[in-house]
């Protein structure tokens, strides 16, 4: 007599039609900015020989990840807001969950690699070319994608093992671990702790590594703040802004069992939409080389 849920219902951000149209307009503008801004960065870096450095190679990969990251969630949200069709198939929900964590965790790892790149450039400039050689950059980017895939496949396998036979209303605007795991028809305490230790510790670990790297950079350059070091600190400041926008909401969301506190769907907007939208703005406005190339 076991029956499995075949589809979920996404509650979204609001049931009021006027607010849905407002959210649709804002999300469409944000998605357009993400696509155009990051595509512009990719084209600029790929076509200008002066930008063939490790930092801009990593920035180009970050822009590609941001496009993938937002494309996992925002198009579906736009359809829901415009048509009011909130149902999503079980398979589609699991696929969205998988790719969201795959690309999202890959971005976290890549931001950590970018912090290592800045640390090497500022604190070990004479060895920078040897350490951040082209082959090493490709290996680091591949490791980011592999780490993201490993993290996401673990999350998805844990989710697929849960029985879903009762409620199917997801109190969010996309399929994610915390709101979906609450719908399982079984005791999920152990699964919730495993997922929290997976996603939460990855977010916290990457954040601590990033903070430590920027602290080392600050300690290294505080005694000799030449014009070049001021420029390096300015670059690091833009990285810190991106890190804060992405990691703090993720730590708040994932570093606890799903049943401990209800997930704030408006907090999710910060790291699913706002943070990727800010990346091209921050990196473009803070980099004179990219602006000149554009």
Angle, vertex CA 40, rays to CA 280 and CA 245, nearest 5:
15
Q: Can you give 179-206 as a three-state secondary structure string?
A: HHHCCCCCCCHHHHHHHHHHHHHHHHHH
Give residue-wise pLDDT tens across range 64-86: 999 999 999 999 999 888 888 88
- Judge whether 275 lies within some domain: yes
**Strand order of the sheet with strand 169-170?**
87-89, 7-10, 169-170
**Does residue 2 sit within a domain?**
no
Whether residue 208 lies inside any domain: the answer is: yes
pLDDT for the residue numbered 288: 73
Per-residue model confidence (pLDDT) at position 257: 65
Note whether 206 and 108 are within 8 A (CB): yes
Structural domain count of the chain: 1
The pTM score is 0.88
6-24 pLDDT, tens digit per residue, is: 888 888 787 788 888 898 9
Report how far apart, in Å, the C-alpha atoms of 82 and of each of 12, 76, 89, 154, 156 are: 12, 10, 18, 33, 29
In a domain, 267, yes or no: yes
The CATH number of the domain holding residue 232 is 1.20.1070.10
Domain carrying residue 113: 7-293
In-domain check, residue 184: yes
Q: Is residue 1 part of a domain?
A: no
On whether residue 70 sits in a domain, the answer given is yes
pLDDT per residue as tens digits for the range 263-283: 567 788 888 888 888 777 776
Report the pLDDT value the prediction gives residue 196, as an integer from 0 to 100.
78
For range 40-57, the mean pLDDT: 86
């Amino acid at each position: 007599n076991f029956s499995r849920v075949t589809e979920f219902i996404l509650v979204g951000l609001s049931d009021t039609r006027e607010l849905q149209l407002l959210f649709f307009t804002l999300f469409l503008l944000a998605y357009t900015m993400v696509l155009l801004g990051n595509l512009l960065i990719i084209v600029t870096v790929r076509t200008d020989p002066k930008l063939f450095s490790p930092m801009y190679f990593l920035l180009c990969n970050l822009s590609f990840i941001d496009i993938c990251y937002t494309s996992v969630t925002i198009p579906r949200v736009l359809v829901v807001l415009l048509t009011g069709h909130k149902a999503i198939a079980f398979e589609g929900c699991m696929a969205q969950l998988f790719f969201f964590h795959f690309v999202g965790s890959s971005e976290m790892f890549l931001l950590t690699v970018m912090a290592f790149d800045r640390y090497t450039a500022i604190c070990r400039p004479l060895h920078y070319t040897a350490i951040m050689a082209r082959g090493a950059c490709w290996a680091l980017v591949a490791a980011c994608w592999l780490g993201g895939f490993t993290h996401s496949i673990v999350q998805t396998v844990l989710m697929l093992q849960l029985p879903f036979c009762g409620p199917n209303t997801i109190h969010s605007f996309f399929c994610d671990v915390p709101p979906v795991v609450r719908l399982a028809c079984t005791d999920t305490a152990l699964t919730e702790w495993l997922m929290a230790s997976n996603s939460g510790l990855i977010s916290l670990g990457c954040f601590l590594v990033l903070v430590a790297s920027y602290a080392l950079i600050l300690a290294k350059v505080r005694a000799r703040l030449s014009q070049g070091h001021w420029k390096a600190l300015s670059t690091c400041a833009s990285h810190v802004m991106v890190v804060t926008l992405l990691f703090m909401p993720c730590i708040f969301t994932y570093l606890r069992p799903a049943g401990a506190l209800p997930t704030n769907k408006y907090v999710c907007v910060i790291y699913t939409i706002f943070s990727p939208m800010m990346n091209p703005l921050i990196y473009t406005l803070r980099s004179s080389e990219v602006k000149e190339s554009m």
